């Protein structure tokens, strides 16, 4: 899979900025709401953090504690690291506001960028009525949506489909193996690529991730997974995966803009291995010197341009990768608008279009964030399949 999620860290054009406006949602009118025995929690977009410079992470208040047997963990090294250090709830059940604040504090992720990713994940794999999401799989702490309008369980971000897809460089595809836990074989293959294309650094020759290493890693991963998972529609590469994955362009962008040491700006083998394998902050690690903004990061675009043959698509009945149809006009005008159309049409369940009360206010907030960031001229109502 791939949820670098942080539910967040994306550099896709969809999440350049939230640009909050009065149209994100109407003024709250319902403050107490109980539906199907659940009590709604009104979501609030947190203020921007004021402390935005580099600093040593983690601090004394966020020591590493290994997860217990009942704690949720998933395919996203960043989210797992945040939970292991208590920047979000250590049990792996988190909320819209906690994701934004935790990602900002630990990784210096800009508020708007974090809000876009949190919105995407909670709409597709969380419970936006009670404002909860599992960073792993199903948890009894995250109830099904009121009326079970999206099925009998709320799956969590590790559930394949919607935004969890194929092509990770540290986790297996779900149809091949374990899509949640670190895969040493895959990582060893990635390190072989680094040894060929990486830059020299303080830890030795070819130990620093650069653009070329990133391009080669993405291509190697996609080619390998497409061959290993040949059955029809089992291997899928969708535009929305660029928004929420620890693979494809996002792996390489996250490595360079988020995981690199903020004082040296180098993403070394030691640092990235510590994040991806151990899911903890490296020793003497500093977060980026300035807030990480989607609009400031050209790396994902450069990777995508270098791998232009990889467009959204899937395997056909012969195991041949074929492109999916482009979005209809006017949503095909820009990549950001096309991604927005893909997410609302195929990933966000249609059942969310007809909710009421606090449930509706929260859905309006989250879908409004995605729309305001898309650059599209008109919004789309959720129209994706349910119970998948």
Q: pLDDT by residue (tens digit) across 142-163?
A: 999 999 999 999 999 888 778 7
First to last CA, the chain: 16
The pLDDT score that the predictor gives to residue 24 is 58
Q: What percent of the chain has pLDDT over 70?
A: 73
Residue 5 has pLDDT above 50, yes or no: no
* Mean predicted lDDT score pLDDT of the chain: 82
67 close to 73: Cβ distance less than 8 angstroms = yes
The pLDDT score that the predictor gives to residue 32 is 83
289 close to 276: Cβ distance less than 8 angstroms = no
Say which range, 4-18, 104-118, 211-225, has the weakest mean pLDDT.
Answer: 4-18
The pLDDT score that the predictor gives to residue 34 is 95
Q: What percent of the chain has pLDDT over 90?
A: 54
> 231: Cβ–Cβ under 8 A, 6 or more apart, which residues?
175, 315, 319
pTM for this prediction? 0.85
Say which range, 191-200, 249-258, 319-328, 361-370, has the weakest mean pLDDT.
Answer: 249-258
For the ranges 58-62, 209-213, 257-261, the maximum mean pLDDT occurs at: 58-62
Q: What are the backbone dihedrals phi and psi of residue 281, each rounded to the nearest 5 degrees, phi first?
A: -75, 135
CB under 8 A, 24+ apart: contacts of 272-280: 272/209, 273/187, 275/77, 275/78, 275/81, 276/77, 276/170, 276/182, 276/187, 276/246, 277/170, 277/182, 277/184, 277/187, 279/73, 279/77, 279/80, 279/81, 279/84, 279/182, 280/64, 280/81, 280/84, 280/85
Q: Where are the alpha helices (DSSP H) in the chain?
A: 77-84, 96-107, 111-125, 184-197, 211-228, 248-254, 269-273, 299-306, 335-342, 357-374
The pLDDT score that the predictor gives to residue 181 is 73
171 close to 180: Cβ distance less than 8 angstroms = yes
Burial 44-65 (b: 16+ CB within 10 A, else e): ebbeebeebeeeebbeeebeee
Higher pLDDT pick, 83 / 316: 83
Residue 318 has pLDDT above 80, yes or no: no
Q: Which of left, alpha, beta for 241 (phi over 0: left; psi -120 to 50: alpha)?
A: alpha
Mean pLDDT, residues 159-181 taken together = 64
For the ranges 17-26, 222-231, 307-316, the maximum mean pLDDT occurs at: 307-316
């Amino acid at each position: 899979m791939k949820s670098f999620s942080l539910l967040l860290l994306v550099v896709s054009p969809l999440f350049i900025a939230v640009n909050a406006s009065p149209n994100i949602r109407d003024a709250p009118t319902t403050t107490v709401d109980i539906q199907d025995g659940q009590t709604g929690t009104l979501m609030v977009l947190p203020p921007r953090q004021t402390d935005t410079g580099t600093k040593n992470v983690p601090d004394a208040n966020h020591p590493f504690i290994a997860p217990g047997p009942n704690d949720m963990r998933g395919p996203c090294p960043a989210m797992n690291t945040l939970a292991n250090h208590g920047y979000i709830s250590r049990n792996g059940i988190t909320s819209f506001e906690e994701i934004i604040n935790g990602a900002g504090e630990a990784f210096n992720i800009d508020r708007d960028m974090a809000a876009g990713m949190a919105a995407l994940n909670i709409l597709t794999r969380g419970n936006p009525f009670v404002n909860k999401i599992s960073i792993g799989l199903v948890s009894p702490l995250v109830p099904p949506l009121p009326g079970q309008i999206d099925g009998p369980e709320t799956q969590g971000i590790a559930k394949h489909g919607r935004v969890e897809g194929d092509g990770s460089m540290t986790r297996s595809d779900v149809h091949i193996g374990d899509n949640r836990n670190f895969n040493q074989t895959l990582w060893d293959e990635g390190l072989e690529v680094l040894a060929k294309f990486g830059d020299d650094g303080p830890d030795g020759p070819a130990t620093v991730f650069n653009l070329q290493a990133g391009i080669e890693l993405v291509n190697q991963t996609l080619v390998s997974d497409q061959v290993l998972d040949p059955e029809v529609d089992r291997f899928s590469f969708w535009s929305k995966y660029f928004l929420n994955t620890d693979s494809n362009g996002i792996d390489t962008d996250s490595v360079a803009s988020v995981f690199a040491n903020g004082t040296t700006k180098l993403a070394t083998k030691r640092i990235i291995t510590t994040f991806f394998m151990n899911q903890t902050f490296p020793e003497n690690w500093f977060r980026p010197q300035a807030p990480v903004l989607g609009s400031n990061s050209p790396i994902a675009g450069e990777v995508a341009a270098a791998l232009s043959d990889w467009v959204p698509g899937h395997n056909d009945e012969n195991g041949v990768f074929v492109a999916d149809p482009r979005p209809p006009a006017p949503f095909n005008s820009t990549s950001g608008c096309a991604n927005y159309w893909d997410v609302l049409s195929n990933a966000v369940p249609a059942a969310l279009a007809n909710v009421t009360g606090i449930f509706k206010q929260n859905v309006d907030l989250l879908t409004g964030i995605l729309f305001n960031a898309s650059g599209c001229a008109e919004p789309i109502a959720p129209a994706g399949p349910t119970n998948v």
